[in-house]
Amino acid sequence: MDCFPVSNLAGPKEVDLTLVKPPTGFPPVKFTNYSFQSMIGETLGIASIASTSRSRGFTVHYLDAYFEELSIEQTISVIVGRSPRIVGILLRYPYVSIVRQITDSVRAHLPHAKIIIGGQYPSINAKLVLEWLPSVDGICIGDGELAILDLLEGAGRQIHGRSYILWRYGPSAEKRTAKGTALVHYAALDDLEWPDRKYLRTAQEFGYKAVGISSSRGCPYRCAFCVPHVYSQNSIERPWNYRSARSITDEIQFHYDNGDRLFTFSDEHFLPNKFARKRAVEFARLLKAQRLDVKFMFDCRADSVSEELFATLRDVGLYRVYIGFEAAENSMLLDYRKDQKMEIYESTLTLLSRLGIEAIPGMIIFSPTTTPSEIKKNIEFFAANFSTYAEEDFLSRLQVLPGTPIAVGLKNQGLLGDMIEGEYFWKFKHPIVEALWNDFNDIVKSRSGDFRALRENDKQSLSNLKKEIERDLFNALNKRAQ
């Protein structure tokens, strides 16, 4: 493949490290409506590796090919044009074939460069990823900042218990398993540089209004479908690693001074334990002391919501919280290993409503074993408790990924098919559910134009559109039940 220049991407000709978020094959979508205002557009993990490596004196080229609106060929051209000695590429499903195209071509043009793949997904599926991507040298295990620094500094292996690279060949190769490797040390997050914000304003132009803040990493829970929980418990020593309240507040102060007022925490779970709740109280105290008039949101579980803590956080700017409810039927929650029952949901939602904090639901409407009655209960729950929506809320379908417990269970039931782009294809156990899946797609996608036309603050129109779609979904359910 011939390379060609991309003139709008200025930077040094040769660099020590190029970090890449690959293109998706689709142009970025500009969001305007209320549902998306708190989404994070930047890729904070890569951005943190970039800033931390640069702070040690290394030259770094950080490329978000999605926001740069680059094709696969253009992405390759930009990488090769910098002649990096190390190339770090984020791998997310379902973009395995795109990453393979990039890595194969970069290998052909830069035969001596080290090509490293990173991300939670490859960390727990190191063996598979090395099979899928033959041009890759190794997989980053654990916190990328430490692993890449080791490589830049000439070690490229585990040193003093730090994170490291799992090489295709060499002493670590025989340790490779489907889960990754032995547990590795975690980064002291307060000591890392704040993320490189090269793409913050670009993300905001595309409608991702919030500044993303990473205050912790990992998750100590055990949801059967979840990659982060497998990664946290099988790859690193501390399942939940955190920054101090002071470090978080200082970063928010920096962005506040630059005119930003809306923040979203990227954490898998902001409040997973007692220490995290104490940290949240200290964080609220610091925000108040520094008189930062901000709005923020985070993710947590339904059983993490308490009146005293959430009233305190609301008073300093908490306006929205994402909760992974997943399902409105205990049988489904048991399958998902949520370790909580839906009976807690009513009190959680009542409390949040009383405090004036918006709840954003995470739901899995369709799974291989879902029944029509479970689908109806999920839609009834969603209709009764939430006034806004995103299109995927009605079309949320269980993602079954290698390395997760649910993949094992579904395989044993004979419900898993081939793996496509790093994700298992699966079939519905009940034919009527497959028919409902097609009905739901037709109904929701027929209103996509209306959904995308809504403006950022037009919450009432969004709510009205949601009710119209729910009416049509209930009609489809009733028709299929006849």
Q: Is residue 180 part of a domain?
A: no
pLDDT at 179: 38
Nearest-angstrom CA–CA distance, 55 and 52: 5
Nearest-angstrom CA–CA distance, 122 and 269: 21
Does residue 171 have a cis bond before it (omega within 30 degrees)?
no
Is there a single domain that holds both residue 305 and residue 205? Answer: yes
Q: pLDDT above 70 covers what percent of the chain?
A: 91
- 8 Å CB contact between 469 and 449: no
Is there a single domain that holds both residue 303 and residue 406? Answer: yes
Q: How far, in whole angstroms, is CA 169 from its chain's centroid? A: 30
The DSSP code for 272 is S
DSSP β-ladder status, 216-217 and 138-141: unpaired
Number of domains in the chain: 2
Q: Is residue 9 part of a domain?
A: no
Is there a single domain that holds both residue 211 and residue 125? Answer: no
pLDDT at 155: 56
CB within 8 Å of 25: residues ≥ 6 apart = 72, 95, 98
Q: Is residue 208 part of a domain?
A: yes
pLDDT at 183: 57
Closest C-alpha to 28, from 250, 206, 230, 177: 206
Is there a single domain that holds both residue 254 and residue 332? Answer: yes
pLDDT at 2: 41
Of 175, 209, 230, at which residue does a domain stop?
175
Q: Is residue 7 part of a domain?
A: no
Beta-ladder partners of 379: none
Q: Is residue 230 part of a domain?
A: yes
Is there a single domain that holds both residue 91 and residue 234? Answer: no
- Nearest-5° Cα angle at 204, 200 to 209: 110
The single-letter code of the amino acid at 355 is L
Residue 112's pLDDT band (boundaries 50, 70, 90)?
Answer: very high
Which domain does 23 fall in, by range?
17-175
Token pair in block for residue 18: 């190029």
Is there a single domain that holds both residue 171 and residue 210? Answer: no
- 8 Å CB contact between 368 and 429: yes
* pLDDT higher than 50, residue 296: yes
Residue 451 DSSP SS3: helix
Q: Is residue 431 part of a domain?
A: yes
Is there a single domain that holds both residue 231 and residue 292? Answer: yes
Nearest-angstrom CA–CA distance, 70 and 299: 31
Nearest-angstrom CA–CA distance, 324 and 338: 9
pLDDT at 189: 94
Residue 461's pLDDT band (boundaries 50, 70, 90)?
Answer: confident
Q: pLDDT above 90 covers what percent of the chain?
A: 74
Of 145, 175, 205, at which residue does a domain stop?
175
Nearest-angstrom CA–CA distance, 191 and 70: 33
pLDDT at 35: 67
Provide the CATH number for the domain around residue 315: 3.80.30.20
Provide the CATH number for the domain around residue 126: 3.40.50.280
Q: Is residue 281 part of a domain?
A: yes
Is there a single domain that holds both residue 386 and residue 475? Answer: yes
Mean pLDDT across the stretch 190-206? 96
Q: Tens digits of per-residue pLDDT, 297-348?
A: 999 999 999 999 999 999 999 999 999 999 999 999 999 999 999 999 999 9
CB within 8 Å of 50: residues ≥ 6 apart = 17, 19, 60, 62, 195, 196, 198
> Long-range pairs for 163-168 at CB < 8 Å and ≥24 separation?
163/187, 163/236, 165/116, 165/137, 165/138, 165/139, 165/140, 165/141, 166/126, 166/138, 166/139, 166/140, 166/141, 167/137, 167/138, 168/130, 168/136, 168/137, 168/138
> What integer best gives the mean pLDDT of the chain?
89
* C-beta neighbour count of 415 within 10 angstroms: 17
pLDDT at 455: 67
Token pair in block for residue 61: 């080229």
Please give the full DSSP string across 343-408, using - where no structure is assigned: HHHHHHHHHHHHHT-EEEEEE--B-TT--HHHHHHHHHHHHHH-S---HHHHS-B----TTSHHHH
Is there a single domain that holds both residue 341 and residue 473? Answer: yes
Mean pLDDT across the stretch 134-138? 96
Q: Greater confidence, 11 or 237?
A: 237
Q: Tens digits of per-residue pLDDT, 370-412?
A: 999 999 999 999 999 998 778 888 999 999 999 999 999 999 9
Lowest pLDDT segment from 45-49, 116-120, 123-127: 123-127
pLDDT at 456: 62
- Report the side by side order of strands in the sheet with 164-167: 60-64, 17-21, 86-90, 114-118, 138-141, 164-167
Of 122, 142, 175, at which residue does a domain stop?
175
Mean pLDDT across the stretch 93-105? 95
pLDDT at 146: 86
Q: Tens digits of per-residue pLDDT, 224-246?
A: 999 988 888 776 677 889 999 99
Is there a single domain that holds both residue 150 and residue 286? Answer: no
Q: Greater confidence, 292 or 187?
A: 292
Mean pLDDT across the stretch 100-126? 95
* pLDDT higher than 60, residue 124: yes
Is there a single domain that holds both residue 311 and residue 372? Answer: yes
Closest C-alpha to 248, from 276, 220, 229, 273: 276
pLDDT at 308: 98
Residue 339 DSSP SS3: coil
| Residue 211 main-chain phi, psi, to 5 deg | -85, 125
Is there a single domain that holds both residue 136 and residue 229? Answer: no
* pLDDT higher than 60, residue 423: yes
Q: Is residue 269 part of a domain?
A: yes
Give one word for 131, left, alpha or beta, with left for phi > 0 and alpha for psi -120 to 50. alpha
